[in-house]
């Protein structure tokens, strides 16, 4: 059966009516997306006056209709088809692939999750082959950014073990930290591994951003409480966290802790101190 003839419709406010796209099948949607993301759209021409991003229209539509709208899986099927086409064209995919990745970085589409999980797995298992398939570092990073959205490493996610492997590699450590959690509370258990792997010339800047966001979204008390429950962070990471806290006007966490003396330090400092007369008796 042939697809119906496309009839573009606008709402009263001038925005695109998503129902006119919903009537079309994945084949038509894939063809339309391929043309639009290439900069050519006979139905809804790109606004050259504002240098409109070709993916912006669809991102706006998908955000407007919500995740439960019937259009979402239809678009997901179409985008999955384009992702497969780009993989077949690697290492020189068509120009529409970059805008497609930007779309995937902004809106989760469940039907694309397995594609990105497969690419993550390939990167974890065969990094040289992955680099050969995607030699353009900017493009490879675009795939990882999109994978954070489409196939994150949240608890219970099939991609979580893969992201944990990528957390231990310098070139992917920060991507993995972002994929394993969206807040300091979720990321704190991975900080030590990330700090160890992240290149030294990058990690202080990334840590500063993490602390800044935590203080702004969770507040100083909650941020310090989360950090204070972490006992196994390397000393240089503790010092870096305290520096970043002070830089944002917050009190340090680990500096105060490091200045506390152990309970038995007074016993050790006074050789004549007899512990038998000062510790509770076990006899009762």
pTM: 0.85
> Using CA atoms, how far apart are residues 152 and 177, in angstroms rounded to an integer?
10
- pLDDT value for 258: 52
Percent of the chain at pLDDT above 90?
A: 71
* Residue 277: pLDDT over 50: no
pLDDT band at 3 (very low <50, low <70, confident <90, very high): low
Across all residues in the chain, what is the average pLDDT?
Answer: 88
């Amino acid at each position: 059966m042939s697809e119906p003839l496309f009839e573009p419709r606008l709402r009263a406010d001038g925005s695109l009516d998503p129902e006119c796209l919903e009537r079309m099948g994945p084949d038509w949607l894939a063809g339309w997306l391929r043309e639009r993301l290439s900069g050519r759209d006979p139905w809804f021409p790109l606004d050259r006056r504002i240098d409109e991003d070709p993916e912006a229209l669809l991102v706006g539509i998908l955000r407007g209709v919500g995740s439960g709208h019937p259009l979402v899986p239809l678009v997901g099927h179409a985008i999955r088809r384009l992702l497969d086409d780009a993989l077949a064209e690697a290492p020189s995919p068509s120009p529409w692939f970059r805008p497609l990745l930007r779309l995937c970085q902004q809106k989760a589409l469940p039907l694309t999750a397995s594609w990105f999980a497969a690419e993550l797995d390939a990167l974890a298992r065969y990094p040289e082959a992955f680099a050969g398939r995607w030699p353009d570092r900017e493009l490879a990073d675009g795939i990882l950014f999109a994978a954070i959205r489409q196939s994150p490493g949240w608890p219970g996610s099939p991609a979580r073990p893969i992201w944990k492997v990528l957390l231990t590699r310098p070139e992917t450590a920060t991507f993995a930290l972002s994929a394993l959690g969206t807040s300091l509370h979720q990321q704190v258990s991975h900080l030590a591994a990330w700090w160890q792997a992240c290149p030294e010339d990058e990690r202080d800047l990334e840590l500063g951003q993490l602390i800044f966001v935590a203080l702004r979204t969770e507040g100083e008390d909650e941020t310090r409480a989360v950090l204070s429950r972490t006992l196994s962070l390397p000393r240089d990471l503790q010092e870096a966290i305290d520096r970043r806290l002070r830089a944002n006007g917050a009190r340090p966490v680990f500096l105060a802790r490091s200045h506390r003396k152990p309970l038995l330090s007074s016993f050790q400092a006074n050789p004549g101190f007899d512990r038998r007369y000062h510790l509770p008796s076990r006899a009762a």
